[in-house]
Amino acid sequence: MSEEGLKNLRDQLDKIDNDLLELINKRMDIVYQVGVVKAHSGGSIYRPEREKQIIERLTKMNEGRLNKSAIEALFLEIFAISRNIELPENIAFLGPEGSFTHQAAETRFGAMSSYLPIGSIKGVFREVNTKKARFGVVPIENSSNGIVSDTINCLTKYNLKIIAEVILDIHHTLATTCDRVKDIKRIYSKDIAFEQCRKFLENVGLDEVEHIPVESTTKAAKYALKEKGSAAICSHVGAKLYNLPILFENIEDKDNNRTRFFIVSDFENAKSGNDKTSILVKFENKKGILVEFLTDFDKAGVNLTKIKSHIIEGHSIFFIDFDGHKEDEHIQKIFDKYKDNIKFLGSYVKEADDI
Total count of domains within the chain: 2
Beta-carbon neighbour count of residue 63 at 10 Å?
A: 5
The domain spanning residue 295 has which CATH number? 3.30.70.260
The domain spanning residue 243 has which CATH number? 3.40.190.10
Note whether residue 259 is domain-resident.
no
Q: Using CB atoms within 10 Å of the CB of residue 311, give its burial: 0 to 12 exposed, 13 to 18 middle, 19+ buried.
A: exposed
pLDDT tens-digit readout, 290-345: 889 999 999 999 999 999 988 877 678 899 999 999 999 999 999 999 999 999 99
Give percent of the chain with pLDDT exceeding 90: 59
pTM: 0.80
Write down the pLDDT at residue 48: 77
Nearest to 175 by CA among 273, 241, 89, 270: 241
Give percent of the chain with pLDDT exceeding 70: 96
* Residues near 100 by beta carbon (within 8 Å), at least 6 away in sequence: 139, 168, 170, 217, 235, 259
- As a whole number, mean pLDDT of residues 237-247 equals 91
- As a whole number, mean pLDDT of residues 14-33 equals 89
Note whether residue 10 is domain-resident.
no
Write down the pLDDT at residue 36: 65
Write down the pLDDT at residue 233: 96
What is the domain extent for residue 323?
A: 271-355
Q: Is the Cβ–Cβ distance between 256 and 144 less than 8 Å?
A: no
The string of DSSP codes covering 200-227 is: HHHHTT-SSSEEEE-S-HHHHHHHHHHS
Same-domain check for residues 339 and 308: yes
Long-range contacts of 179-183 (CB under 8 A, 24+ apart): 181/205, 181/206, 181/247, 183/229
Nearest to 280 by CA among 137, 160, 165, 155: 155
Note whether residue 52 is domain-resident.
no
Same-domain check for residues 184 and 227: yes
